[in-house]
Amino acid sequence: MSEVLLAPRSLWSLSLHDAKVRGVLYQVLLAGSLLALVVSIAIQTASNMRARGIPLSFGFWNETAGFDINQTLIPYDTLSTYGQAFWVGVVNTLYVSLLGIVLATLLGFVVGIARLSPNWIVAKVAASYVEVIRNVPLLLQLLFWYNAVLKPLPTPRASIELPGGIYLNNRGLIIPEIQLHEGAGSVGLAFLAGTMLCFAYRFHARRVQDRTGKQLPVLRVSLAALIGLPLIVFFLVGSPVSFVTPELRGFNFRGGHQLYPEFAALLIGLSAYTASFIAEIVRSGIQAVPKGQTEAAHALGLAPGKTLRLVTVPQALRIIIPPLTSQYLNLTKNSSLAVFIGYPDLVQIFAGTVLNQTGAAVQVMAITLSVYLAISLVTSMVMNAFNRRFAIVER
């Protein structure tokens, strides 16, 4: 009868040869040094700021800003506060990012699909676009659009006149302003009703298909409800929309809606740059769907359009969505390059002008970083939810 004798393990025989003990030790060391670093930085920062007369509070938030911003979507003037300037920056950043995301997605999908075209020249042109745009810094592209393309345009008096009362000059693109008259609201209501009708019909069509296998023409009915219904109401109430064409008065245009060159350059640059990355994502996503899937769908008698819509695209999307999300976030972060060409985004207004005027570097930077972090977090959450809907349901 053999008995292995083990040394009695007491609670107190802690040894550095025990991995758990070492783990705890490492973490205590890490926590200690981090804490020491943070505390010393905090003390040093507070004393440095006091020595330089920099405010330590957020009191500047409600002070009058005193500078003007030429492009705002929300009310703002020189008498507004720094807090209001902050919100102008946030809204402008979101505005250019959202428009950029829409344009970049459209262009990116077109270029990505074109790269897979069986037509040799189409594929080569798309590939050249991607290779050229992707390998040149975004800042260089923005500067090119702004300084070499949009700025040398003629002055307002010598504007290039485009059809439809649109003028192009070095102050931007001036387009007719849309004016809504009485009854315009009913067109909007009709559109809303059309949208609801679409959803109802789709629900109905799905139930009919589940029950009988019969397919109803969802697309045609939806289009009729979405476009036809508002159009009928539009003419019934007597075209309640008119356009105010811009007019040249003195050195500038009156009336009409102005698209500033800073905004246009940023939008073009961001969309074109991000589209080249999205194109690569779309291409690899579609290529990753096995060919057998398409062949099997064809063997089942699905038409090419349906094969694409019901078999290839859902599987490709599953691969495309996660990297696409990070491209959307990149575009939003890259919109901060606005500061180089003078579009008033969050960084330009808040981390630029407000920081310089108030000197409150720590507070301003903390707020700016939190905004970008919040945007990242919300976008990831939305796209993750979207992704979950498309993800493979495994047993």
Partner 1 sequence: MSGHSLHSPLANSSLLPPTAPPWRIRRSPAAWMRKNLFSTPFSGVLTICFTALAAWLLYQLLSFAVFDAVWTGGQEECRANPDGACWPFIVEKFDYLRYGAYPVAERWRVDLTLIIGAVLIVWLLWKRAPQRNVAALLFFIAYPVVAFVLLRGVASLNLPVIDTVLWGGLLITLLMSVVGIVFSLPIGVLLALGRRSELPLVRAVCVIFIEVVRGVPFITVLFMANFMMPLFVPDYLTPDRLLRPLIAIALFSSAYMAEVVRAGLQAIPKGQYEAAKALGLSYFTIMRLIILPQALTIVIPGIVSTFIGLFKDTTLVAIVGIADFLRAVETARVDPNWAGPTISSTGYLFAGLVYWIFCFGMSRYSQAMEREFARGHKS
Judged by the rule CB under 8 A, the positions of this chain that interact with partner 1 are 23, 26-27, 30-31, 34, 41, 44-45, 48-49, 117-122, 124-125, 128, 131-132, 134-140, 143-144, 147-148, 152, 329, 333-334, 336-337, 339-340, 347, 351, 355, 361-362, 365, 368-369, 372-373, 376-377
Closer by beta carbon to partner 1, 144 or else 386: 144
Q: What is the C-alpha separation between 321 and 282, in angstroms, rounded?
A: 9
Q: Provide the Cα torsion 89, 90, 96, 99; round to 10°.
A: -150
Residue (180 or 288) nearer to partner 1, CB: 288
Smallest separation, CB 293 to partner 1 (Å): 22
The one-letter amino acid at 385: A
Do 92 and 344 form a contact (C-beta atoms < 8 A)? Answer: yes
Nearest distance, CB of residue 252 and partner 1, angstroms: 25
- Nearest distance from C-beta of residue 166 to partner 1, angstroms: 24
Q: How far is the CB of 377 from partner 1 (least distance, A)?
A: 7
From the centroid of its chain, how far is CA 104?
9
Q: Based on CB atoms, which residue is closest to partner 1, 229 or 355?
A: 355
| Residue with Cβ nearer partner 1 (187 or 338) | 338
Provide, rounded to whole angstroms, the least separation between the CB of residue 102 and partner 1: 20
CB closer to partner 1, 11 vs 148: 148
**Whole-number minimum distance, CB 208 to partner 1, in Å?**
34
Of residues 147 and 155, the one with the C-beta less far from partner 1: 147
User: Closer CB to partner 1, residue 44 or residue 242?
Assistant: 44
- CA–CA gap between residue 27 and residue 201 (Å, rounded): 60
- Shortest Å distance, C-beta 100 to partner 1: 14
